[in-house]
Amino acid sequence: MDHLPQFIWHICDAYLPELQFRLRNPGKAPVRSKLPAALENRIKLSGWVKAYNDWFTETHSTDKSVLVLPIEGEMSRGGGWYGYGNDFLIRQLNAAATDTDYKGAVLKANTPGGTADSTPAFAEAVANFRKVKPVVTHTAYCASAGYYVASQSDEIIMEDQAASQIGSIGTLLIYENYKKYLEQEGIDIQIMRAKGSEDKARVNWIEELTPEARAGLQAMLDACQKEFAGAVKRGRAGKITSNEVLTGKMYGVNDALKLGLIDAKGDLASAVKRVITLSGK
């Protein structure tokens, strides 16, 4: 239930006011009559996690025995207005792993990537799911953290179009400093630190980076990239033909297939069929 307020609108926008009212005012009359009977009964019988997975399947999948889990927009632990959070998607995937209604899952990825935080946990969840059921990623655009996660699936199928892009196996941090701008505008901002807190918030947009702070950021970036590249190599073992794909470059569908970043070209329906084939059921 802790994720429900954040992701509740994905069930049905039209019923958002009532659902929020029910959560905040248990026992009181709803703002409108009630939820559709099918959805109401499903939630009562199976719980929210199952209801979400069933809804994803009905919305995206061509076969009700294959869960299609959407990875949309910028990825982060908690998600945002456009996409679900990594913690939420991990929960849904873990539930599907033990749900006998599902033979496997398709990760429907349309993402530019996102934060390094929580991406390893999501990738691990996919790798663990793969041990018990087949999981295939389908995408037309999958970059950075999105590929980190997708690389742990059994196979990656890419939409065959000129606009399709995949890759960006790299790590960066954009640091902005407004010190000179503030000086030009005549704005003097000073940071005061308590005794013993001399290292507090040394990375900020007002003060110049100290050599120590810069070295710390570089070390963190290098560690994240090592973690990223290592996961991709493990997930795509025997498939990636060159380390050139680990420099952060994006690739079109033909180059991605040649370099081992993907396994095949196809649409979402073909990815669903592939899961059924891999399941052997």
**Which residues touch 111 (CB under 8 Å, ≥6 apart)?**
71, 72, 73, 74, 75, 83, 141, 142, 143, 145, 146
Identify the bridge partners of residue 106 per DSSP, sorted by sequence position. 68, 136
Helix (H) or strand (E) holding 180: helix 179-184
Question: Does 42 map to a domain?
Answer: no
Query: For residue 128, how many C-alpha atoms fall within 13 Å in the half-sphere facing its CB?
Result: 14
CATH value at residue 214: 3.90.226.10
- Comparing CA positions, the residue from 120, 121, 213, 230 lying closest to residue 175 is 213
DSSP secondary structure, 59-82, as one string: HH-SSTTEEEEEEESSB-SS--SS
Question: Does 73 map to a domain?
Answer: yes
Q: Predicted confidence band at 27 (pLDDT cuts at 50, 70, 90)?
A: low
The predicted structure's pLDDT at residue 3: 40
Average pLDDT over residues 16-35: 56
| Cα separation, 7 vs 122, whole angstroms | 18
Does 216 score more than 90 pLDDT? Answer: yes
- Comparing CA positions, the residue from 31, 8, 130 lying closest to residue 79 is 8
Find out whether 131 and 76 touch, Cβ atoms under 8 Å: no
For residue 36, report the phi and psi dihedrals to the nearest 5 degrees. -55, 140
Does 15 score more than 60 pLDDT? Answer: no
Of 10-19, 157-166, 211-220, the one with minimum mean pLDDT is: 10-19
Of 4-8, 124-128, 197-201, 239-243, the one with minimum mean pLDDT is: 4-8
The predicted structure's pLDDT at residue 243: 94
The predicted structure's pLDDT at residue 31: 47
Question: Does 167 map to a domain?
Answer: yes
CB atoms inside a 10 Å sphere around CB 176: 6
Q: What is the CA radius of gyration of the chain?
A: 22
The domain total for the chain is 1
Cα→Cα distances 116→77, 86, 144, 205, 259, Å: 9, 11, 9, 21, 24
Does 4 score more than 80 pLDDT? Answer: no
The predicted structure's pLDDT at residue 228: 98
Which residue range forms the structural domain that includes residue 139? 68-279
Question: Does 62 map to a domain?
Answer: no
Does 105 score more than 80 pLDDT? Answer: yes
Of 14-18, 239-243, 259-263, the one with minimum mean pLDDT is: 14-18
The predicted structure's pLDDT at residue 210: 93
Per-residue pLDDT reduced to its tens digit, 48-87: 889 899 989 999 999 999 999 999 999 999 987 778 999 9
Per-residue pLDDT reduced to its tens digit, 108-166: 999 999 999 999 999 999 999 999 999 999 999 999 999 999 999 999 999 999 999 99
Question: Does 10 map to a domain?
Answer: no
Question: Does 123 map to a domain?
Answer: yes
Q: What proportion of the chain, given as a percentage, has pLDDT over 90?
A: 79
Is pTM beyond 0.95? Reply is no
Cα→Cα distances 223→87, 134, 145, 252, Å: 22, 30, 15, 28
Locus of tokens 């009212």: 21
Q: Predicted confidence band at 173 (pLDDT cuts at 50, 70, 90)?
A: very high
Question: Does 50 map to a domain?
Answer: no
Tell me the average pLDDT of the chain: 89
- Comparing CA positions, the residue from 274, 243, 267, 234 lying closest to residue 253 is 267
Average pLDDT over residues 169-189: 94
Question: Does 6 map to a domain?
Answer: no
Does 170 score more than 90 pLDDT? Answer: yes
Q: Copy the structure tokens of residue 37.
A: 């009977």
Does 262 score more than 50 pLDDT? Answer: yes
